[in-house]
Chain A
Amino acid sequence: MTLLYSETEEFLRDSVRRLFADRCPPGAVAAAYDGAADFSGLWKSLAGDLGVAGLIVPESLGGAGASAREAAVVLEEIGRAVAPVPFLSSAVLATTALLEAGDTALLPALASGERTAALAVPLTSGPPTSGPPTSGPARHAAAVRHGDGGLTGRVTSVAGAAEADVLVVPVAGDDGLELRTVARDAPGLTVTPVLALDMTRPLADVEFAGTPSARVGPGEDAVARALLAGAALLASEQVGLARWCLETTLAYVKERRQFGRQIGSYQAIKHRLADLWLEVGQATAAARYAADTIARGDEDAEIAAAVAQAYCSDVAVHAAEECVQLHGGIGMTWEHPAHLYLKRAKADQLALGTPYHHRARLGDLVDLPAS
């Protein structure tokens, strides 16, 4: 088990970073909020040309046969650039669910970047707790039903649905939850983009009204595994985001002068940044461990993911909030990219389970029950 980065991982990081520097600088990302932007070309380059869409797909299914560790490095870079690409929704969530459910039909096209998928669950869904089904697969079961006339039901706040060619839908079947796929252009399917706090991970409400679908396999474990992998890897996005905020803020406080001194020479600011730096370091270790346990199929993966989400979510928000505050008025402007990071960090905090959810879940996992 190593919590460091391998050479291959660093190599991958470099190429993803270069692509983002070139194709989605902050100014371009901000356009996501004005509705006019189309980032499908960027995603095609990332998924297809750099081949990251198939990182966790085995070579036998056309993937790269790499692992969650490499996917985590890509997510760090996505967080660093607040890149508006459906990597988490397609290449992690939908892909993991399909792999677990035994799909062979769709995965090769997802791995090559030719097609893009989304798992039809609310972005707020966390990995299931053992307690009452307030979230997780059991709750999704109620959302969409399968009958003679096709699928009916509604799923709200689905990440990546508008960018997807295929929806991967957990459906209440006769023997429990099953996983089905629905083509984006199927009749009776309505995908309505919503205005979101964070427009760099677009959300949409999805409505099924007699929609045709194809069965993939059993869904209970598939959805649980997908949410687990998603939660574990989202932590790396949060680390990348937090690191950008820390570095950007550091650079600013070294340059900006007030009262005849650099503002970074004031102890109130130095101490806050020292604390933040410590948090980002700890978040890195927690996120690396979560990715590593997923990659190795380690039985500690559930605990590792809960720890990483509970910790890294709050660190990312803290970093983004400090970034805004320590930039003063500039931090409050539309022009400065800090707001893109704040919005993404705040939305990420809710994504795949809040820190509260993960702490509650962890209590069950480590025999510290709530009551």
Chain B
Amino acid sequence: MSSDEQDIAAGLSARVRALLAEHDVADERAFLGARFDAGLAWVHFPEGHGGLGLPQVWQRQVEAELAEAGAPYPDPGRNPIGLGMAAPTIAAFGTEEQKRRFLRPLWTGEELWCQLFSEPGAGSDLAAVATRAVRDGDSWIVNGQKVWTSGAEKARLAILVARTDPDVPKHAGLTYFVCDMTAPGVEVRPLRQITGEAEFNEVFLTDVRLPDFYRLGEEGQGWRVATATLNNERVAIGGAPSARETGMIAKVARAWRDHPELREPAMHDELMRLWVEVEANRLTRVRLRQQLAAGQPGPEGSAMKLAFARLAQRISGFEIELRGEDGLRYDDWTMRQPDYVDMTGRGPGYRYLRAKGNSIEGGTSEILRNVIAERVLGLPPEHRVDKSIPWKDLPR
């Protein structure tokens, strides 16, 4: 560590100590608010908006010191869209006032967020969205249908991509908004999924009026803003470093240790194969962190979600096979809307089924392979017949 770095480290530790001394860790919301005000929510965010304007690598020290003191943490399982996607997008594209309005309650969990991107006609091809937003004086009137919207029933706010100009090619006519989920005209209907429960919903937007203050970025700049969101989403899903043998593999390893009677010779090799791949993947994330810290961000980030989805699916499939009769049982088919999504929670059947979503949500694995092939490996782009045609003239 250089002496500058030592100063930063010491300064952060002092801030953490002061925070802990002045605020009760037992009062979660108040503590998180105080943490935000102390600039320790996201150290790389601007001062006054939950951060200190430091490089992101310093976040780790803060997390470690607070975790050691038993401080509450804003659980990403409760507000994944808010913490993983909306916050970095607002930090990058929001005005001062927007940051002031949205970031703090997002951080404390007072306001939960959802993502109104996908539509029946626009999934992988997000730029094809048909939901229209039309300017009306100082506000916008939004009409359209969104789908697969996780957590919409709980969300107070949403990030929304809508079409503001149908006369230009699809990427150019989009604008990015924050949507008030309590506004009149927003209707949320649960969609039951293969696990039995309903994490996601369809959302109908009928003459929803949003003040222009809710526009994030310039009119027509929506694609750029959305791309930033999606990059954050992919890192959030697959990129976080972890300790050895955690997550899905820990469940299987534990079943293997606890149930010698389940062990089949051929299964052992498969178990170790999965263990090895998880460990190689973990080391890759450690290395990625080190590259970022050294100011040489590697393109591997975009691949981590791809690797994560593949591993989660193989491991959870293997776990069912390993468990024999227990693998044939299921814990709960009741239709309900979960407060909390833990993909490594519940029983093996749930884990297996939920993992199927990992290669679809946040960009399918096929789309991620396209992204890697084109942006990282420099291979020729897909043939796109619709790139230069005005959106309104596209064949449907």
Contact = CB atoms under 8 A, between A and B. Distances in A.
A313 to B, nearest CB: 11
Contacts of B60: none
Given A362-B272, A366-B245, A370-B268, A311 B372 contact: no
A250 B260 CA distance: 46
Contacts of B287: 3-4, 284-285, 288
A277 B307 contact: no
Contacts of B271: 363, 368
A253 B273 contact: no
B275 A366 contact: yes
B379 A360 contact: no
What secondary structure prevails in chain B residues at the interface with A?
helix
A359 interface: yes
B69 interface: no
Contacts, number: 133
Given A3-B290, A250-B377, A281 B276 contact: no
B379 A273 contact: yes
A310 B276 CA distance: 7
A308 to B, nearest CB: 8
Interface stretch (B36-44, B278-286, B334-342): B278-286
B294 interface: yes
A2 interface: yes
A250 B376 CA distance: 11
Interface residues on A, range: 35 or more
B344 to A, nearest CB: 18
Contact of B277 (A3, A311, A367): A311
What secondary structure prevails in chain A residues at the interface with B?
helix
Most A CB within 10 A of own CB, among B272, B277, B296, B372: B272
Interface residues of B, number: 46
Contacts of B290: 2-4
B369 A307 contact: no
Contact of A371 (B265, B300, B383): B265
B257 interface: yes
Interface of A: 2-4, 250, 253-254, 261-262, 264-265, 267, 269-271, 273-275, 277-278, 281-286, 288-289, 306-307, 310-311, 356, 359-360, 362-363, 366-368, 370-371
Interface pairs A-B: 4 shortest CB-CB: A359-B272, A270-B373, A265-B380, A285-B283
Given A278-B300, A284-B287, A370-B268, 6 more contacts: A281-B303, A285-B286, A310-B272, A311-B280, A359-B273, A368-B256
Contacts of B307: 278, 282
Interface of B: 245, 253, 256-257, 260, 263, 265, 268-269, 271-273, 275-277, 279-281, 283-284, 286-287, 290-291, 294, 296, 298, 300, 303, 306-307, 366, 368-370, 372-374, 376-383
B304 to A, nearest CB: 9
A273 B306 CA distance: 13
A274 B284 contact: no
Contact of B372 (A278, A307, A356): A278
A269 B370 CA distance: 10
Contact of A264 (B269, B279, B306, B380): B380
A264 B376 contact: no
Contact of B303 (A278, A283, A360, A362): A278
A286 B294 contact: no
A254 B280 contact: no
Most B CB within 10 A of own CB, among A262, A278, A359: A278
Nearest to B307: A278
B380 A368 contact: no
